[in-house]
Structure formats: structure tokens, C-alpha cells
Amino acid sequence: MATNRQARAALSAIFASTGVFIGTWSARIPAIKSAFHLSPARLGLLLACTTIGSIVGTPSAGFLSARIGSRLLLKISAPLTSLSYAFIALAPSVSLLVLALIVMGACNSLVQVSMNAQAVALETRYRRTILSTMHGAFSIGMMVGALVAAAVVHFGVPYRIHLLVMSCLLLALAFAIGFFLIETERTPRAQRQRARLSLPLAIIIVVAFFELFCEGTATSWSSVYMKDSIGASAAIAALTFGAYSLTMTVGRLLGDKLVLRMGVGGLVRLGGSIAVCGLALALVVHSTLAALLGFALFGLGLSCQSPTLFRAAGQLPLPEGQGLAAVMFTAWPAFLLVSPIVGGLASVTSLRLALTVTLGAAAALIALSGGLGRLAPAPLASLSEYEPP
């Protein structure tokens, strides 16, 4: 049986590898756009396929997590997600690429629910907040994936070869990690139920919707914006997502301490304010440096939002994975909407104007932070927090 330290290392590795997966994919979107000669509107619809897959897979993730446990679900879904990269790389047509992206989204949703459920269970063992640090590992992975992709683009490596190599590496890591996950209590059949929409769950879902809309903007459009609207090179465009990932990493590594000091609502309010300022800078000032700095601030502002919301959902009195699955299932449509909304608006106006929609989503985080602070479960604190000085 894995020790807590081994489980934490294994979970950090799976969070990091998932980040590498996302960062690599996001940085190669411009190459896929060029390879298939996609307009902004068609690209937006194509990118929405991953979210369609996620929406299809997330309810199954909640059900399976409660039935077979998050450990077994993660051991199965992580290798499948790695293999989906090979499917994308080998897709010869847009129709098969659509199918590959749907498969990737479905497999990734299983990983997202199960790895976060494992992390929440490990927090309970530790009796202190560690989920934000786990998401920090995810961000480190995104940064590494984006930076490696920038170098690969610079040397002219085709995206198909790049994705095939990454698929093999991530597959090997996924198999190795499975030996060091923790067992969790499976919910008896008589106690299994669907997550009911309570007021705390509802506010978490709404905030998560706007937050994922913002993250979807950075994931799908930051590199495209830098290349098409600012006129930067393909390598610099890929680096944009790397800057976003870097600052998100820094914020998440500090998030476990910040949420204890500021509370759930205060942390979401501060992050939303930083995100609004960052994206506004990237859109208002037409320069490469301003866009890089703007998306870096955008990443810093969004850094602690997902860990805070996922922790709160995972702590609700529901079977394992059910709260997380409910939040992801109802908030993932934000990823589905951001691609066609931004892509459609960009086709009739410009990508710069289209991205102002995301400013409104970031502002909504600030507006909803008060209600979130009152209703969301408080994070588990370290035992030392309760000890007298």
C-alpha cells in the first residue's frame, strides 16, 4: 500500500503530466489550424469538440469514481488519455480529427475527476491544504509543455511527430504512477445517489463556469491572438501560453497558504481583479510585450480559482467524485461556449474585440466572490493552524 508521501509524489506527477498534455496541445493549435486551413469560426467549432467529449465523459467519471474508486479509475483513464494524442497526430482529415478530439476530451474528463478526488482524499489524510500545490504541478506541466512546444516549433518539427512522441512518454508515465495511488472508500450501492443541486453546490458551479470560460480563452486563443492579432512569430505565439502557465504556477504554489489567510471568497475576489487587469492590458496595448505581460497577469489571477472551487466541491457531503463531477459537468460547457463564441465574433469583428467577452466573465468572478465566501465549505487547515503559537 502506498504511503502518503508516495501518493503525494505520484499525484503530483499525474497532475504535472496532465498539464504537459494540455500545454502541448494548446501550443500546437496554430499548427493544426494551418495544416487543415481552418478559419477562426471553424477552428472555434473544432476546439469545442474536446469540451463535448468532456461533457459526455464527466457524468460517467462521477459514477465510476463512486463505484470503483478514484484509484482504479485513474489507473485506467490516464493511459487512455495519453493514447488519444496519437489518435490526434494520425488523424488525416477534419472529420477524424473531430472524433479524436471528442475521445481526448472524454478520457481527460475521467482523469480530471479521479485525480482531483484522489487529491481531496489525500488532503483529508494530511489534514492540511495541498490541492493548490497539486494544481501548481499541473501548471508546471503546462508551462513545460508549452515551452518545449515553442522550441519544437522553432526547429520546424511537424506537430504530428511531436504529438506521437509525447503520447509515448505520457503513456509510460501513466502506467508507472498507477502503483502509488491511495485506496479510497467506495460508496455502498444503497448510498449512491446523484449530486443534488444545493445552494453551496450551485454557487460553486456558477463561479466555476465563468472561471473555466476564462481558462478556456487562454488555452484556446492566447497563442492564436499573439500570432494573428499581434503579428508575432509562431515561436513567440507558443511562448505566450508558456508565460500564462508560468504565473499560474507561481500563484498555485502559494494558494494553499493564501486560501487559509484570505478565505475562499477573498481569494477568488483578488484573483478575478488581477485577471481583469491582465487581459485588459493584453487587449488595449497593441504590442508583443504587453500581450505577454497581460496573459501572464491573467494566469496569475486565475491560478488559485480551480483548486479552491474543486476543493470546495470535493468537501461537500456527497459520494466520492460526485461533487467534482457535478461541477465539471455543468461548468465544462464554458469551454464549449468560449471557442464558438470567440471564434464567431472574431469572424465578424476581430479577435481583439471578441476577447472582451472574457473580460465580462472575469468580472463575474469578482461579483460572485461574496456569495462564494459565505456558502462554500472552508478548506481543511493544517493541524498547526490550530496550535497555539
C-alpha cell at 229: 492579432
Domain assignment present for residue 207? The answer is yes
pLDDT in tens, 307-360: 999 988 888 888 778 888 888 888 877 877 887 898 889 889 889 999 999 999
Domain assignment present for residue 339? The answer is yes
Q: Which of 82-91, 149-158, 373-382 has the lowest mean pLDDT?
A: 373-382
Helix/strand/coil percentages in the chain, nearest 5: 85, 0, 15
Domain assignment present for residue 189? The answer is no
Distances (CA, A) of 311 to 26, 46, 206, 276: 25, 31, 15, 24
Average pLDDT, the chain: 86
Give residue 115's Cα distance to chain centre: 12
- d(CA 252, CA 9) in angstroms, rounded, equals 17
Domain assignment present for residue 79? The answer is yes
Domain count, the chain: 1
CATH number of the domain enclosing 258: 1.20.1250.20
Is residue 23 within 8 Å of residue 223, measured between CB atoms? Answer: no
pLDDT in tens, 175-192: 998 888 888 766 555 444
Identify the pLDDT of residue 204: 93
Is residue 350 within 8 Å of residue 225, measured between CB atoms? Answer: no
DSSP-derived 3-state class of residue 320: coil
- d(CA 127, CA 1) in angstroms, rounded, equals 20
State whether the Cα torsion 216-220-222-225 is positive or negative: negative
pTM of the model: 0.79
**Residue 86 belongs to domain spanning:** 4-183+197-377
Domain assignment present for residue 158? The answer is yes
Identify the pLDDT of residue 6: 86
Residue 13's CB is within 10 A of a number of other CB atoms, namely: 17
Domain assignment present for residue 87? The answer is yes
DSSP-derived 3-state class of residue 238: helix
Domain assignment present for residue 94? The answer is yes
Domain assignment present for residue 244? The answer is yes
Cα end-to-end span (Å), the chain: 35
